[in-house]
Amino acid sequence: MAEVGPRYRQPAPSRGSKPGERRGGRQKGTANKVTRSVKEAIDLVAQAIGGAERMADWVQEDKQNERLFWSQIYPKLLPLQVAGPSGLASVPRRVIIELDDARS
């Protein structure tokens, strides 16, 4: 008669990739096609409704529009990571821009 005891399963072999190993997917530095096509569509719409000139007119129509431009639209042009003097990424800080209410 065989000795009865707890049975343990052998751990399954690792199927994941090793650190630094790439398996499929986009090549490093290749743009995401969906993101690119969405950006192109937005650009086409922007050009169809008047482009930069129309956006400038919209910004000047209302103080709220100008606030939206500076707080929501313009920051999208700024780099996500800024290198400091040592070449290391610096910590982003909040920048508050106060608009002069004297402008009309």
Specify the pLDDT at position 93. Answer: 67
Specify the pLDDT at position 64. Answer: 96
CA–CA separation, 67 and 97 (whole Å): 9
Specify the pLDDT at position 39. Answer: 83
CB 44 within 8 A of CB 53: no
The model carries a pTM of 0.46
Rg over CA atoms, the chain: 27
**What tens-digit pLDDT sequence spans the chain (104 residues)?**
556 656 777 777 667 777 777 777 777 777 777 777 888 898 899 999 999 999 999 999 999 999 999 999 888 887 766 666 666 666 666 777 777 765 55
User: What are the sequence ranges of the domains in the chain?
Assistant: 33-77
